[in-house]
Amino acid sequence: MSSALTTRRGLLLSAMATAGLAAAPALAQTANPVRLKLSSFEPPMANITSNVLVPFTKAAAAASGGALQIDVFAGGTLGRNPTQQLKLVTDGIADIAWIVLPYTPGRFDDTDVVGLPFVASNATEASVALHRLYANGTLVGFDGLKMLALAATPPVVIHSNQPVRLPTDLRKKRVRASGDHLTKIIEALDGAPVQLGGGQIAEGLSRGVVDMTLNNWGFVGDFKVNEVTSQHFDMPLGAVAVGVVMRRDRYDALPPPVRAAIDKASGEALARKVGEAFDRQEREVRERVSKSGRNTVVAPSAAELAEWKKVIQPVNEAWRTAKPRNERTLKAFVGELERVRAGK
C-alpha cells in the first residue's frame, strides 16, 4: 500500500473518531433525557390540557433536541384537588403544574386585577397583559416560583336554575365563586359566597349546595355545568388568574440547554396560546349551549348592564384604593391591555 493511501486512510479514521467523540455526549443526552412531570387537575381531553399543555410539552421536547421529556399527568393523577396543585410543585411531587391562582388566598393578590369586571374583555388580551406584568416585575407574590405562563380566563358569567337579570337577583343566594374580588362582589350584592373546587361545582348545583355559580363558558363545557343548570346570564363579571408554574430552584438546576428549550416554548407566547384557547372554547360552548333547547342564554340589555356597573363600581374602586400598589398595578394592566389591543 502506498504511503499516500495510508496517510489518507489515517486522516479519514481520525476524522471519524473525532466526530464520534463529539456526538457521544449528544447521543447520551438523548438516550437519557431530563424527565419532568406536569400535573393538570383537568381531564386529559379538557381544552387547556389537550390544546395547550400537551403541545407545550412537545414543543419544549423538540426544542431541546431530545434532552427533555415532559410527561403529562392529567385528570388529577398526581393529586385530584385543584386547590392543591401549587403545593404539588412546592412539595416536589410535580415539576410543573396548571394552577388557578386564587386557590392560594393571599399570595397572588396583585393578579386580582384581572378579576375586576369591565376592565378586560377577553382572555387573550388579559393573558398577554398579565404575563407582561409578571415578566417586567410589576407583580409580587412569586418568590421561589418560575411562571412559565401567567394567564387569565375569559370573564365569568352567571349560571343557575333561576332567571338572573339584575343585581338584586343574587340577594340571599348561595353563589359559588373563585377569587377574593368576586367574593367581595357577591357580598356587596347581599349574596353568600361559597368556595367549591372545580370538580365539585356540578354536584353542588345538583344537590342544592349552591344556587348559582360564576364560571367562564369553557369551564362550563369541561365540567358539564350546563347539564345541571338551565339559566345563563351572559354578564361579564371579571376573569380568574391561572398559570403554568415551576419551582424556581428546580428550574435553575436544569441543564442550560433544557432551560433554553423550556424558555423557547413558554413565556408570553404560551400565555397568549392559553388565552386564545380559552376564547375559542368560550365561543364554541356558548353557541352550543344556546342551541341546546334546554338552556336559556340571555345577554344584559344596555339598561341592565348600566345597573350592574353602578353596583359593582364601588367594589372595583375599593380594590383600587385598598393599598397603593393596587393603583399602580391597575394602571400598568390597563396600559398593557391598550398595547395588546393596538397590536403591540
- Looking at residue 316, what is its pLDDT? 94
Percent of the chain with pLDDT over 70: 91
Per DSSP, 171 falls in state T
Per DSSP, 95 falls in state S
User: Residue 336 in contact with residue 272, Cβ under 8 Å?
Assistant: no
Residue 239's closest CA among 339, 143, 134, 101? 101
- Looking at residue 31, what is its pLDDT? 66
Q: Residues with Cβ < 8 Å from 177, sequence gap 6 or more?
A: 156, 183, 185, 186, 193, 194, 195, 213, 214
- Looking at residue 30, what is its pLDDT? 57
Q: Predicted confidence band at 178 (pLDDT cuts at 50, 70, 90)?
A: confident
Percent of the chain with pLDDT over 90: 81
CA distance readout (Å), 316 to 100, 123, 137, 330 = 21, 19, 23, 10
Task: Note the pLDDT tens digit of each residue in 188-219.
Answer: 999 999 988 777 899 999 999 999 999 999 98
User: pLDDT at residue 295 above 60?
Assistant: yes
In the chain the domains, ranked by start, together with CATH numbers, are: 32-109+120-153+240-281 (3.40.190.170), 157-239+294-341 (3.40.190.170)
Q: Which three cell numbers stand for residue 227?
A: 347539564
Q: Which three cell numbers stand for residue 68?
A: 427533555
Burial of 280 (0-12, 13-18, 19+ CB in 10 A): middle
Q: If you write DSSP's letter for every residue of 97-159 in order, what string do you get?
A: EEEEGGGSTTTSGGGGGGGSTTT--SHHHHHHHHHHHHHTT---S-TTEEEEEEEEPPPPEEE
Task: Note the pLDDT tens digit of each residue in 104-137.
Answer: 988 999 999 999 999 999 999 999 999 999 999 9
Task: Note the pLDDT tens digit of each residue in 229-284.
Answer: 999 999 999 899 999 999 999 999 999 999 999 999 999 999 999 999 999 999 99
Query: Which position has the higher pLDDT, 98 or 31?
Result: 98
User: Residue 125 in contact with residue 275, Cβ under 8 Å?
Assistant: yes
- Looking at residue 318, what is its pLDDT? 94
- 175: three-class secondary structure by DSSP: strand
Report the b/e string of 35-70 with b at 16+ CB within 10 A. ebbbbbbbeeebbbbbbbbbebbebbbebbeebbeb
Q: If you write DSSP's letter for every residue of 276-294 in order, what string do you get?
A: HHHHHHHHHHHHHHHTSSS
Q: Please compute Rg for the chain using Cα positions.
A: 24
What's the pTM?
Answer: 0.85
